[in-house]
Chains A and B, each alone.
Chain A
Amino acid sequence: MQTYSITAPSITAPHRTAGPTTTTIEVARRTVRKFVRSPQLAVVGTIQGAMFLLIFRYVFGGAIDTGGIPYVDFLVPGFVLTSVLFSGSSAASGVAEDLEAGFIDRLRSLPIPRTSVMAGRALADTITGTWGLAITTAIGFLVGFRLHASALDGLAAFGLCIVAAYAFSWVFIYIGLMAGTAQAAQGISLLVFPFTFVSSAFVPVSSMPGWMQPFAEHQPITVMVNAVRSLVLGSGAAQHLPHPTGYYVVGTLLWGAAISAVFGVLSVLRYRKG
């Protein structure tokens, strides 16, 4: 039996295969690098976000009755949380691009843990998503949002937004794997819009038609938005929400776990199948 001297003597053959940690980090680092080095993506995303926030704040805001809470304070928690859904389409098209360009094929041909490839992607999307959340939050403060609770509550709310970013990153990874092309992935990502808008993110659920309210009230985005709002608005929010803060926070964590579990498993299965 020959050893690795079959190949050029100057190229060292590995003695072991890459473990889950190395794989996750290497895959994540590539995606984050790509994001950081394509500033046009981040800039366009930021400008789009700011534009929508300004439109809601100043154009629609005057017509929306949020019962005593200034609209900007009502809007910004919902806007920040749903920003993870807006930025998701670029994550989905990124995955589809990697498929089209043969990068996923190369990863599949390597002796690496397949779950870790997907985990690396989700980690990267969560990191870039967190950056987006930070920018959106900063713009929120610029247009007049004020925290009505402790800084700790504010941080907890931000943490829940990161949980949402992580959970939905799996949805967009799955869309990217299924879509076939980057363009299709982007298109399919828009199908989350009913969840984005038929929620408490931009208007109170009570202003919607009766048949729509049960869905709007219980779907995950509303639960997550209410958790964030409940944390950052302190007692001001309590009178508007049918449940206490703890209910929404636990709901957010459960929804986050459920969404990432379902779409995580689907994505890994899809990736393995090839």
Chain B
Amino acid sequence: MTPLVEAHGLTKCYKQVRALDGLDLVADNGHVVALLGPNGAGKTTFVRSVATLLRPDDGSLHVAGVDALKQPQEVRRLIGLAGQYAAVEPTMTGRENLDMIARLFGLGARSARANTDVVLERMGLVEAADRRVKTYSGGMRRKLDLGASLVGAPKLLLLDEPTTGLDPRSRIELWETIRDLVSTGTDVLLTTQYLDEADQLAEQIVIIDHGRVIANGTPDELKTSAGQDVVEIHARDGHSLGALASALAQLGNSEPRVDEGTRRLAIAVDAGPERLTDAVRIVAGLGVEIDDVALRRPTLDEVFLALTGASPNGASDGETA
């Protein structure tokens, strides 16, 4: 079966910055693919290449088997794009916005109206349909924008940081909407800086850093590929964290991570159960009081750290996204 998106050696340079640096990626169809990476990793540049908004300098890019560099107009028939901003017109109603985009997707007046109704229903915007968008909340605008990318029944939805800037409740609502879409069979390629978002929505996660793919797999595979379990200890007293860290360092294959704020200490270990037992013994030997000790799978945050040597959030280094 033709992969949904297939990129080989994709390169794009802006003056000083290599936004894409020989990126290779095969995204299978039939599920949600999340591109995960910090600001400046090249996520947006990649999505804009797939959306035919920019032309890579080098490499090949196919969308559902169509060459995006040679036949961009064909690719545009396959995709729907919702960018980082809600690109809807505030002075028009939700219905008018959707109807306009439906007509531009090539639908006749009647089908455009019918699709608009379906999309309004699916986005939960029926009641607000005939209100001007300027009265909408941020979350409603994003939903409408998502709906606009959908109203022409594209094969592939491209969502560039769909929940950035939304409050937590709107984020969760938008996740629900995206999940519903997926259950109706629409393929989705989304970018995100949020690990939990990728974890929540995607069956395939592609981690990008400095314009290259550094890991690619299911959330579970990625967690396993970091190769480790994590022993986490919750100290009762913040002052004992230093002593704990130096005593437990021998267990892990890297320095323990200490979070003073939550009084937690995490050590990545191989052979989790044995190391957990060791950890308990060491803590008992130190005579330090703890609230909790646990063995768990690494979070995507920790996977990211293991793969890139840097934390994904706050890793903004001023590069173009």
Q: Which single member of A6, A103, A111 contacts B73 (CB below 8 Å)?
A: A111
Q: Which single member of A7, A13, A37, A101 contacts B185 (CB below 8 Å)?
A: A7
Pick from B8-16, B18-26, B79-87 the stretch touching chain A: B79-87
**Is B192 interfacial (CB-CB < 8 Å)?**
no
Contact with A along B265-309 (1 / 0, CB 8 A): 000000000000000000000000000000000000000000000
| A108 near B52: Cβ-Cβ < 8 Å | yes
| A106 near B105: Cβ-Cβ < 8 Å | no
**Smallest CB separation, B152 vs chain A (Å):** 6
User: Total number of A-B contacts with CB less than 8 angstroms?
Assistant: 121
| A7 near B184: Cβ-Cβ < 8 Å | yes
**Is B148 interfacial (CB-CB < 8 Å)?**
yes
| A12 near B104: Cβ-Cβ < 8 Å | no
When distances are taken between beta carbons in the complex, the residues of chain A under 8 Å from B150 are 11
**Is B111 interfacial (CB-CB < 8 Å)?**
yes
| B84 near A102: Cβ-Cβ < 8 Å | yes
**Is A38 interfacial (CB-CB < 8 Å)?**
yes
B side interface size, CB within 8 A: 50
Instruction: Please report which residues of chain B, range 86-133, place their CB below 8 angstroms from some CB of chain A when the two chains form the complex.
Output: 86-87, 89, 91-92, 96, 100-101, 103-107, 111, 114-115, 118-119, 122, 132
Residue of B nearest to A116 (CB): B104
Residue of A nearest to B183 (CB): A8
Q: Which single member of A26, A106, A112 contacts B87 (CB below 8 Å)?
A: A106
- Given A30-B92, A106-B87, check contact A111 B106 (CB 8 Å): yes
**Smallest CB separation, A16 vs chain B (Å):** 5
**Is A269 interfacial (CB-CB < 8 Å)?**
no
Residue of A nearest to B30 (CB): A6
| B77 near A17: Cβ-Cβ < 8 Å | yes
Instruction: Please report which residues of chain A, range 1-38, place their CB below 8 angstroms from some CB of chain B when the two chains form the complex.
Output: 4-8, 10-18, 22-23, 26, 29-30, 33-34, 37-38
Q: Which single member of A8, A16, A109, A112 contacts B52 (CB below 8 Å)?
A: A109
**Smallest CB separation, A33 vs chain B (Å):** 6
When distances are taken between beta carbons in the complex, the residues of chain A under 8 Å from B86 are 102
**Is A110 interfacial (CB-CB < 8 Å)?**
yes
When distances are taken between beta carbons in the complex, the residues of chain B under 8 Å from A23 are 104
**Is B216 interfacial (CB-CB < 8 Å)?**
no
When distances are taken between beta carbons in the complex, the residues of chain B under 8 Å from A14 are 105-107, 111, 152-153
**How many angstroms between the C-alpha atoms of A112 and B76 in the bound complex?**
9
**Is A105 interfacial (CB-CB < 8 Å)?**
yes
| A12 near B89: Cβ-Cβ < 8 Å | no
When distances are taken between beta carbons in the complex, the residues of chain B under 8 Å from A18 are 103-106
**How many angstroms between the C-alpha atoms of A18 and B106 in the bound complex?**
4
Interface-central residue, A18, A37, A111, by most chain B CB under 10 Å: A111
| B118 near A110: Cβ-Cβ < 8 Å | no
| B91 near A33: Cβ-Cβ < 8 Å | yes
When distances are taken between beta carbons in the complex, the residues of chain A under 8 Å from B148 are 106
**How many angstroms between the C-alpha atoms of A213 and B118 in the bound complex?**
64
| A105 near B87: Cβ-Cβ < 8 Å | yes
Q: Which residues of B contact A (CB under 8 A)?
A: 48, 51-55, 73-74, 76-77, 79-81, 83-87, 89, 91-92, 96, 100-101, 103-107, 111, 114-115, 118-119, 122, 132, 148-155, 158, 181, 184-187
Q: Could you write out 15 A-B pairs with CB less than 8 Å apart? A: A6-B187, A7-B185, A7-B186, A11-B150, A11-B153, A12-B114, A30-B89, A34-B89, A37-B92, A38-B91, A100-B85, A102-B85, A105-B48, A108-B52, A111-B105
Closest 10 interchain pairs by CB?
A: A14-B106, A102-B87, A13-B153, A8-B184, A111-B76, A109-B81, A102-B85, A37-B91, A102-B83, A17-B106
19 further A-B contacts with Cβ under 8 Å, apart from A37-B132, A106-B148, are A4-B153, A4-B155, A7-B186, A8-B118, A8-B153, A11-B150, A12-B111, A12-B115, A13-B152, A14-B107, A17-B106, A22-B103, A30-B100, A101-B87, A102-B85, A102-B86, A103-B89, A106-B149, A110-B76
